[in-house]
Amino acid sequence: MDKIYNHKKVEEKIYKMWEENGYFAPSTEKDKKTFSIILPPPNANAPLHFGHAMYVLEDILTRFKRMQGFKTLWLPGADHAGFETQFVFEKKLQKEGKSRFDYDRENLYNMIGDFVKDNRPVMESQLRKLGFSLDWSRTKFTLDPNIVSVVNKTFKKMHVDKLVYRTERLVNYCTFDGTSFSDLEVVYEERQNPLYYIKYGPLVLATTRPETKFGDTAVAVHPDDKRYKQYVGKDLDIETVLGKSKIKVIADKMVDREFGTGVVKITPAHDFNDFEVSLRHNLPMVQVIDLSGKMNEKAGKFAGIYAKQARKLIVQEMEQKGLIEKIDEKYKHRIGLCYKCKNPIEPLPLEQWFVKMSPLAKPAIEVVKKGKIKIYPKKFEKLYFQFLENIRDWNISRQIVWGIRIPAWKCIDCAEWTVTSGETPKECSTCKSKKLQQDEDTFDTWFSSSQWPFATLQTTKGEDYKEFYPTTVMETGYDILRWWVARMVMMGIYSTSKIPFENVVLHGLVNDPLGKKMSKSRGNIVNPLELVDQYGADAVRFALVFGTALGNDQALSYPKLQSARNFINKLWNIARFIEISRIQNSELKIQNSIKDLKKFAKNEKDKKIIAQTEELIRKITLDIEKYNFNYAAERLYEFAWHEFADKYIEDVKNRIDNNSFLALNSLFLILLRLLHPFIPFVTEEIYQRSNPSAGGSIMVESWPKNE
């Protein structure tokens, strides 16, 4: 053995051996207990980021259960990531001096498809470099034709069951990216903006958005506000920058009497609260900002100007006409932003497909309350319930090209919609007209990925769905508990009448060394593969698990990476010492179990370390089964370095004989099996060198037992 462990000589060779020997595929034996995880599919538009390295927790579980004798499946895949991918591709086009508007739908779709096709192998090779024991023969993509078919059939079923509907409603619209979003994709930030006190006839009201005044259909006060009782139900004569007008005063409990003057303008087409008020009071909806973010013809001479620029011009003219009483320049309020480009979201009326969420949320709440699905750490149950108990209907239409096009056709003659399972209808389901036009929109990516557990297993191999569904564990970051996990529970129960997984295991975020979230805009992204190249995959894996409790965020720690690499080298040095000793004790037969070792042990110190190892097996097994990966890693580190190397080996050196060497060698191989799920490459390499007569791989060894 070399004096120093060199991961660059080992890792690629070993992974190739594992894959070629089919060690990642589930056993073909019948009647074995099953264990399954569906990999949260990484976006196919870019290389992995550091969050993906946390898949190590899934690999630990998969290798552990495989060694325990379970029929184990860890199924890989990739997500087309509709909007995310189109956003990345459009940035690429911008660098080339082009835009999405330079191409028709089909060409743009194919160009993005080629872009994704080039990146997927890169992403998959990175997963291999981290040692993830995924069954690549079953890999899936969210745009595989059979996956698309499942998604379309679900949509059709939901339409028949009246769980999806199409209507014009106010949606979160990003005028920069040109698409609507669900509520979850809006991030809120405190901003300081001017608050304008505007004269509306005898009343004064406060607003941050004077440019939307052309869409006002009422003025509202609180019904208990005595200051304005005399005006309720009356029409006010008001002066505007476009001339004189009339506006009705209504009373609604939505009004905050402490905000501004206690009077607010109601603009149903551009404010979610105002939209709800308009439904209660039967107010018209007047849109004054278009999908590009510009003022439309309702704004008169301001038409064609971007809303933000129009605001300044309108305020200037209102001041000239004496229509502004005062301006509070330091007003702070929360504003909704597009989660991707961080531009302000514009509430706009748009005809979209919506999913009724309340009927889906109830059973999803029930299965967690009854313990059919368990969430780890338990503290995240509160967030799960909070989301589902306050859920609003889900807008699943996206105005992008890249994704699964919605299988719905509008009739040119009667304007009704015909929904199918993906096939093009021959005629309108209402009036039988043959003049049909397919919806231009695509499904929200989360709509298709919410079906991922059952869609993958229904479309892979033979009996996979029957054998592995419901899956055992869904392991992912806590940040997508609402975005993805809750939706998978809802859609899984609806589509299959079964829960999609039994356990939800949530890890924390990996931040930069200063504890700040990694992002391209900050320039603090750390490529996990660069660290793999420097420290080795095992060290990166071990450092991510060691010292961080499940569900907690962690800062990337270079000292921890160095410490993990030192630990790998310590194991290598133990192996070198044992290899040298083996030459003198070559006739001894390795004992694979604690039970057999106890029979041979004669020295009291050998008996003591055997007993300690037996206790270690018990604790590590329990730690992994309870998802306390950090405890398991810390116990293994302490035992291997301090109890085994510093104390036991140092003692054995002074009294080496056949019997003690048998205990030493056998215990080390048991320790390697315990360490294997955490640091698979070095344990495999040492196993091959330490136990050459056994052949095979450490992956086919069984998990050590207490006997």
- Given a contact cutoff of 8 angstroms between Cβ atoms, the answer to whether 526 and 512 are in contact is yes
In the chain, the domains with their CATH numbers are: 19-140+450-507 (3.40.50.620), 179-346 (3.90.740.10), 540-700 (1.10.730.10)
Of the candidates 61, 17, 14, 51, which has an alpha carbon nearest to the alpha carbon of residue 623? Answer: 61
Residue holding tokens 């694979």?
Answer: 592
d(C-alpha 603, C-alpha 125), whole Å: 49
DSSP classification of residue 89:
H
Q: Which residues of 653-692 are buried (b: 16+ CB within 10 A; e: fewer)?
A: eeeeeebbbbbbbbbbbbbbbbbbbbbbbbbbbbbbebbe
**How high is the pLDDT of residue 261?**
96
Q: Is 602 a residue whose pLDDT tops 90?
A: no
d(C-alpha 645, C-alpha 637), whole Å: 11
Residue 700 burial (CB count, 10 A): 12
Give me the mean pLDDT over the 265-270 stretch: 96
d(C-alpha 292, C-alpha 343), whole Å: 13
d(C-alpha 181, C-alpha 332), whole Å: 25
Q: In one letter, which amino acid is 217?
A: T
Residue 419 burial (CB count, 10 A): 21
Question: Cβ neighbours of residue 630 under 8 Å, at least 6 residues apart?
Answer: 545, 546, 547, 548, 549, 550
Q: DSSP assignment of 281-304, as one string?
A: HT------B-TTSBB-GGGGGGTT
**How high is the pLDDT of residue 231?**
96
Residue 31 burial (CB count, 10 A): 5
Between these two residues, 355 and 596, which has the higher pLDDT value? 355
d(C-alpha 606, C-alpha 660), whole Å: 7
Cα distances from 284 to residues 287, 374, 437, in angstroms, run 10, 47, 29
**How high is the pLDDT of residue 660?**
83
Kindly state the helix (H) or strand (E) to which residue 661 belongs, with its residue range.
helix 658-675
Give me the mean pLDDT over the 63-74 stretch: 97
Of the candidates 502, 470, 505, which has an alpha carbon nearest to the alpha carbon of residue 373? Answer: 502
**pLDDT tens digits for range 465-481:** 999 999 999 999 999 99
Kindly state the helix (H) or strand (E) to which residue 384 belongs, with its residue range.
helix 381-389
Q: Is 594 left (phi over 0), alpha (psi -120 to 50) or beta?
A: alpha
Q: DSSP assignment of 451-481, as one string?
A: THHHHHHTSSSTTHHHHH-SEEEEEEEGGGI
**How high is the pLDDT of residue 526?**
83
Three-state DSSP class for 434?
A: coil
Residue 423 burial (CB count, 10 A): 10
Lowest mean pLDDT among 335-344, 372-381, 471-480: 335-344
Question: Cβ neighbours of residue 523 under 8 Å, at least 6 residues apart?
Answer: none
Extract the runs of DSSP E, i.e. beta strands, from 344-460.
346-355, 374-376, 394-395, 397-398, 408-411, 417-419, 436-438, 442-443
- Given a contact cutoff of 8 angstroms between Cβ atoms, the answer to whether 378 and 551 are in contact is no
Cα distances from 149 to residues 76, 155, 406, 417, 455, in angstroms, run 19, 10, 11, 20, 9
d(C-alpha 48, C-alpha 122), whole Å: 9
Sign of CA dihedral 75, 79, 80, 85: negative
Q: Is 584 a residue whose pLDDT tops 70?
A: no
Q: Is 111 a residue whose pLDDT tops 80?
A: yes
Phi, psi torsion values for 553, nearest 5 degrees: -70, 160
**How high is the pLDDT of residue 373?**
98
Q: Is 679 a residue whose pLDDT tops 80?
A: yes
Can you count the helices (H) and strands (E) in the chain?
22, 25
Q: DSSP assignment of 528-547, as one string?
A: HHHHHHHH-HHHHHHHHHTT
**pLDDT tens digits for range 76-100:** 999 999 999 999 999 999 999 998 9
d(C-alpha 129, C-alpha 8), whole Å: 11
d(C-alpha 308, C-alpha 8), whole Å: 55
**How high is the pLDDT of residue 582?**
67
Give the chain's mean pLDDT. Answer: 93
Between these two residues, 376 and 101, which has the higher pLDDT value? 376
Give me the mean pLDDT over the 278-288 stretch: 96
Between these two residues, 550 and 693, which has the higher pLDDT value? 550
**pLDDT tens digits for range 438-448:** 999 999 999 99
d(C-alpha 31, C-alpha 218), whole Å: 69
d(C-alpha 381, C-alpha 504), whole Å: 10
**pLDDT tens digits for range 491-510:** 999 999 999 999 999 999 99
- Given a contact cutoff of 8 angstroms between Cβ atoms, the answer to whether 210 and 196 are in contact is yes
d(C-alpha 200, C-alpha 231), whole Å: 12
Q: Is 29 left (phi over 0), alpha (psi -120 to 50) or beta?
A: beta
- Given a contact cutoff of 8 angstroms between Cβ atoms, the answer to whether 204 and 195 are in contact is no
Of the candidates 443, 282, 269, which has an alpha carbon nearest to the alpha carbon of residue 352? Answer: 443
Q: Return the structure tokens found at 502.
A: 């039994």
- Given a contact cutoff of 8 angstroms between Cβ atoms, the answer to whether 700 and 83 are in contact is no
Q: In one letter, which amino acid is 417?
A: W
Gyration radius from the chain CA atoms: 31
Inter-residue long-range contacts of 192-196, CB under 8 Å, 24+ positions, other chains counted: 192/330, 192/331, 192/332, 193/331, 193/333, 193/335, 194/327, 194/328, 194/329, 194/331, 195/260, 195/327, 195/328, 195/331, 196/315, 196/324, 196/327
Q: Is 305 a residue whose pLDDT tops 90?
A: yes
pTM of the model: 0.92
Q: Is 130 a residue whose pLDDT tops 60?
A: yes
Q: Is 390 a residue whose pLDDT tops 60?
A: yes
